[in-house]
A and B are shown apart, each in its own frame.
Chain A
Amino acid sequence: MTALQSPFLRDHAGSLLGSCFLHGVLVLIVVAMAWVTPPTRRVVPAMIEATLVSSHRNYVTPVPHPAPAATPPLPAVVAPTPVPVMPTPVPKPAPKPAPVKVPTKVLKVPPGVTEKPKPAVAPKPKVVPFSKADASALERELRDNEQARQAAQVKAAQEAARARAEAQVRAQAAVTARNNAVRQEQVAGETSQYLAEIKARVEQAWSRPASARKGVQCTLEVDQSPGGTVLQARVINPCNGDEAVRASIRDAALRASPLPVPKNGDIFQRTLHLVFSPDE
Chain B
Amino acid sequence: MNKRVQTVLLACVLYVAGIAAAQAQLTVDITKGNSSPIPIAIVPFSGEGLAVDVAQVVEGDLARSGRFAPLARAAQPQQPTQASQIDWPQWKLVKTDYLAIGRIRADGAGYVIEVELHNVLSGERVLGVSVNATGSGLRLSAHRIADLLYEKLIGVPGAFATRIAYVAVEGPVAARHWRLVVADSDGENPVTIVDSKQPLMSPSWSPDGTQLAYVSFEGRVSSVFVQSIQTGVRDRVSGRAGINGAPAWAPDGRRMALALSQPDGNVDVFVLDLETKALLRVTDDPAIDTEPCFSADGQSLYFTSDRAGRPQIYQIRLAPGERAKRLTFEGSYNARPRLSPDGKMLAVVTQDQGAYRIARVDIATGQSLVLTTGRLDESPTFAPNGQTVIYSARERGRGVLATVAIDSGVVTRITLASGDIRDPAWSPRL
**B1-13 contact mask (Cβ, 8 Å, vs A): 1 or 0:** 0111101111111
Within 8 A of A (CB), among B146-193: 151-156
Q: Please count how many residues in chain B sit with their CB below 8 Å of the partner chain's CB atoms.
A: 50
Bound CA–CA A3/B28 (angstroms): 8
Chain B 315-349 against A: per-residue CB contact (8 Å), 1 yes, 0 no?
Answer: 00000000000000000000000000000000000
Number of A-B contacts (CB under 8 A): 186
Tell me whether B97 and A199 are in contact (CB under 8 A).
no
State whether B36 touches A207 (Cβ < 8 A). Answer: yes
Q: A169-B7, A254-B121 are in contact. Are A242 and B27 (CB under 8 A)?
A: no
Tell me whether A279 and B27 are in contact (CB under 8 A).
Answer: no
Interface segment, one of B16-24, B130-138, B299-307? B16-24
Indicate if the CB atoms of A184 and B18 lie closer than 8 Å: yes
Instruction: Write out, one digit per residue, whether chain A residues 1-40 have a CB within 8 A of any chain B CB (1) or not (0).
Output: 1111001100110011001100100110011001100010
Closest to B17 in A: A180
Q: How far, in angstroms, from A165 to B26 measured CA to CA in the complex?
A: 39
Q: Please pick, from B7, B8, B15, the residue contacting A63 in the complex, using a CB distance under 8 A.
A: B7
Which residue of the partner chain B has the closest CB to A209? B155
B34 in contact (CB, < 8 A): yes
Asked if A198 CB lies within 8 Å of chain B CBs, one says yes
Within 8 Å CB of B126, what residues of A?
247
B2 touches which of A39, A172, A211, A250 (Cβ 8 Å)? A39
Chain A residue nearest to B38 in the complex (CB) = A207
Give the CA-CA distance A207 to B154 in the complex, in Å: 9
Contact-residue bracket for chain A = 35 or more
Within 8 A of A (CB), among B266-286: none
B120 to chain A, nearest CB (A): 9
The interface centre, meaning the residue of A31, A188, A195, A242 with most chain B CB atoms within 10 A of its CB, is: A31
Query: Which residues of chain A are within 8 angstroms of B35 by Cβ–Cβ distance?
Result: 207-208
Which A residues from 136 to 155 make CB contacts under 8 A with B?
none
> With A176-B15, A207-B36, A209-B154 known to touch, is A274 a contact of B30 (CB < 8 Å)?
yes
Residues of A within 8 A of B (CB): 1-4, 7-8, 11-12, 15-16, 19-20, 23, 26-27, 30-31, 34-35, 39, 42, 63, 166, 169-170, 172-173, 176-177, 180, 183-184, 187-188, 191, 194-195, 198-199, 202-204, 206-212, 242-245, 247-252, 254-255, 266-267, 269, 271-279
Q: List 27 A-B contacts (CB under 8 A).
A: A2-B27, A3-B24, A11-B25, A19-B16, A23-B19, A31-B5, A42-B3, A169-B11, A173-B10, A194-B26, A195-B26, A202-B30, A206-B34, A210-B67, A242-B155, A243-B152, A244-B153, A245-B155, A248-B153, A250-B121, A251-B119, A254-B121, A254-B122, A269-B23, A273-B26, A276-B30, A277-B30
